[in-house]
Amino acid sequence: GQQLNQSPQSMFIQEGEDVSMNCTSSSIFNTWLWYKQEPGEGPVLLIALYKAGELTSNGRLTAQFGITRKDSFLNISASIPSDVGIYFCAGRSQGAQKLVFGQGTRLTINP
């Protein structure tokens, strides 16, 4: 079945640093979604990508849909304490009913 490899699994950074995480797939996706999950909450959609090469920003967050359609990355610039959480990538291939999820990147920020 389809699998998503998300890396890194965890990150420990200083406040103000930039963050980069990525996901790679064994198959082609038509949609990439990036979510953030905070303790005790459900995943919240951050950015949605629909076209190969697409680069989309949401405030300090930027995500790109890889041109091979098998990868995506998420960058967070100038991290702040409220960025702490688990970030998930998810992808869907053409005609698929189900999302495939990465295992998540746990972000910890030292003030």
Partner 1 sequence: NAGVTQTPKFRVLKTGQSMTLLCAQDMNHEYMYWYRQDPGMGLRLIHYSVGEGTTAKGEVPDGYNVSRLKKQNFLLGLESAAPSQTSVYFCASRSGLAGTSTDTQYFGPGTRLTVL
Give the footprint of partner 1 on this chain (CB under 8 A). Answer: 30-31, 33, 35, 40-45, 48, 50, 88, 90, 92-99, 101-104
Q: Pick between residue 79 and residue 85 the one whose CB is nearest to partner 1.
A: 85
CB contact set of 32 (below 8 Å; sequence gap of 6+): 23, 48, 49, 63, 65, 72, 89, 90, 91
Of 21 and 33, the one with the shorter C-beta distance to partner 1 is: 33
Give whichever of 44 and 78 is closer to partner 1, judged by the CB atom.
Answer: 44
Q: How far is CA 32 from CA 50, 80, 102, in A?
A: 7, 25, 11
CB of 50 to partner 1, least distance (A): 5
CB of 78 to partner 1, least distance (A): 26
